Amino acid sequence: MLKRVHFPTSALPYLLVAPQIIITLIFFIWPASQAVYQSFLIEDAFGLSSEFVWFENFQILFEDSQYLETFWRTILFSAAVAVLSMGSALILAAFADRVVRGATTYRTLLIWPYAVAPVLAGALWVFMFNPTLGIFPYILEFIGIDWNHYLNGGQAMTLVIFAAAWKQIAYNFLFYLAAMQSIPRSLIEAAAIDGAGPVRRFWDHIFPLISPTTFFLLVINAVYAFFDTFGIIHAVTQGGPANSTTILVYKVFNDGFVGLDLGGSAAQSVILMILVIAMTVVQFRYVERKVEY
């Protein structure tokens, strides 16, 4: 017979985890379940009459060519933002890694944009690129570019991509710099002694060694572009012109809060919820295992 050790049961552990559980239930599980429920309804704005329709809201979405276009647009937008912001951050970090004097100042300055709220970042870009009053359209005119992002969807998309990427550079920069500084100096020095120049050392040693960070940042940036760029888009283009900058999360807002189509909007958020769950799973299953901190 095994002797089992019995501890007197105590409420203490339950009490200690309770706040966490309660917060999760109230702020995550409850709203999420509401969204799922709402996505099965077709309802008027005031909630006076509602009809339970199972998956019809989803069916309407996937038959809507506009929604599918939004899907592709979001993927394009996220990819562009991730590549642009990670690429710039990588270059900046590679240089910052070599800076000897004034490194702290340089780093601090680079981190600043991260402290700017998305809506403010958007407002800054709106001022700089206002077709009538902005400084950039004025400069662009000299090289023959007629800038009007109110009318030109491509230009509007470019603008929000730049604004969103700019905002994220600081974050990526921090991670890249930390990753580069954790590479043992002896490795780099050995390569230098073998005659590898800075570019060669970067591509052959530094870049492969920081690849876990790159993968981690890729997921983070994708999530950022998918969900946190709402403020920028709202401030810069409000999804226009002709929907050319409407990404999934903006469409949720627009259909739900502007159009008061709660069922359709809820169905879209459920789809987004599934997407973010998928991304998180990828991050935990794949990335966490490979990143060497």
Residues that bind another protein (CB under 8 A): 42-49, 51, 130-133, 148, 150-153, 238, 240-243, 254-255, 257-261
Residue 225: closest CA among 245, 211, 200, 254? 245
Of the pair 129, 216, the CB lying nearest another protein is at: 129
Rounded CA-CA distance 257/249 in Å is 12
Q: Which residue has the tokens 């050790």?
A: 5
Report the half-sphere exposure of 277 (CA within 13 A, side-chain side): 8
Nearest distance from C-beta of residue 78 to another protein, angstroms = 22
Output the smallest distance, CB 88 to another protein, in A: 29
- CA-closest candidate to residue 89, choices 198, 199, 223, 214: 214
Shortest Cβ 150–another protein spacing (Å): 4
CB 151 within 8 A of CB 114: no
Residue among 131 and 212 whose Cβ is closer to another protein: 131
Q: Which is nearer to another protein, 206 or 261 (CB)?
A: 261
Range list of β-strands (E), the chain: 41-43, 50-52
CB of 238 to another protein, least distance (A): 8
What minimum distance in Å lies between the beta carbon of 163 and another protein? 17
Nearer to another protein by Cβ, of 64 and 204: the residue is 64
Q: Closer to another protein by CB, 152 or 214: give it.
A: 152
Instruction: Look at residue 99 and give its three-state secondary structure.
Output: coil
Smallest separation (angstroms) from another protein to the CB of 131: 8
Do 172 and 85 contact (CB within 8 A), yes or no? yes
Structure tokens that stand for 106 in this block: 């340089």
Rank residues 36 and 53 by Cβ distance to another protein and give the closer one: 53
| Closest by CA position to 153, among listed 252, 78, 81, 246 | 246
- Residue of 91, 72, 121 lying closest to 228 (CA atoms): 121
